Amino acid sequence: MTAWTTLATPERRATLMRRAQLLAAASVAYNSAEAVIAITAGNIAGSSALVGFGLDSIVEVSSGLVILWQFRHPMPESRERTSQRLIAISFFALAAYLTVEAGHALITGAQPDSSPIGIGLALASLAVMPFLSLWQRRTGKELGSGAVEGDGTQTRLCTYLSAVLLFGLVLNATLGWFWADPVAALIIAAVAAREGWQTGTFRSPCPRTALQTTAAPPLPPTSTRMSPIRQHPLRWHSRGARTAREPPHAHHDPGGVRRGTAGSANCDDR
């Protein structure tokens, strides 16, 4: 189980969890409509980039459903790692499909028709997705949930893909550059693969908001050797009486760690 690490109070944590669910539900609703429109328009126009954009919307729908499934559990953090894996796998599946389709389009030289509906859809996504992504990523970061942040990353990816899609569709419609559409699809595939890797499934998580432990600096070396009596933590007095004396390293953490330092020194993703 991947524990959430957050500085939020229990009340704030509950608020963030509700917000994460609302944002996921909004993402599912919008991307469901976007997927239907994009895939339908893409099949009509023969545009692999537009179809790929619609498939990416399906991936985002699945990502939002994963978040909603995660938060139905009494301890959502117990499903954190599984959620991250599912989101990353969906990224890789999208990248593989787009690579095959775009490669086939480039080899055959199939020229897609212009799609005013696709251009309008790309413009609408450019207007909506940046704000949704910002709220999702902020919520996930404050909550300490990599899965929620990953969902926001997918939404941010949709923003980039909208710009790429718009560029390819406009070039094809105005200049007749048929290759702009499959090239746009390949760019979408590359970005999807990169984001799938960075979701965190294949890396150790490195929470940004946690109070973590860091190694304490070693004690400075002593230039002179102390006598056995001075090295001992007990100081002897007359007639066998002894009193406890604080050793010179009393303020040093014997475990070699100091609590309360933000950040981590053992994150392998840096």
pLDDT digits (tens, 9 = 90+) for 242-258: 444 545 544 445 444 44
pTM above 0.85, yes or no: no
Distance of CA 87 to the CA centre of its chain: 9
CB 140 within 8 A of CB 149: yes
| Residue 208: Cβ-neighbour burial (10 angstroms; 0-12, 13-18, 19+) | middle
Name the nearest CA neighbour of 76 among 12, 84, 214: 84
Distance of CA 69 to the CA centre of its chain: 17
Q: Is the model's pLDDT at 22 over the cut of 50? A: yes
Q: Is the model's pLDDT at 140 over the cut of 80? A: yes
Q: Greater confidence, 32 or 11? A: 32
> Domain ranges in the chain?
10-198, 211-262
Tell me, what's the pLDDT at 34? 92
Give the bridge partners for 262, in sequence order: 211
User: DSSP state, 73?
Assistant: S
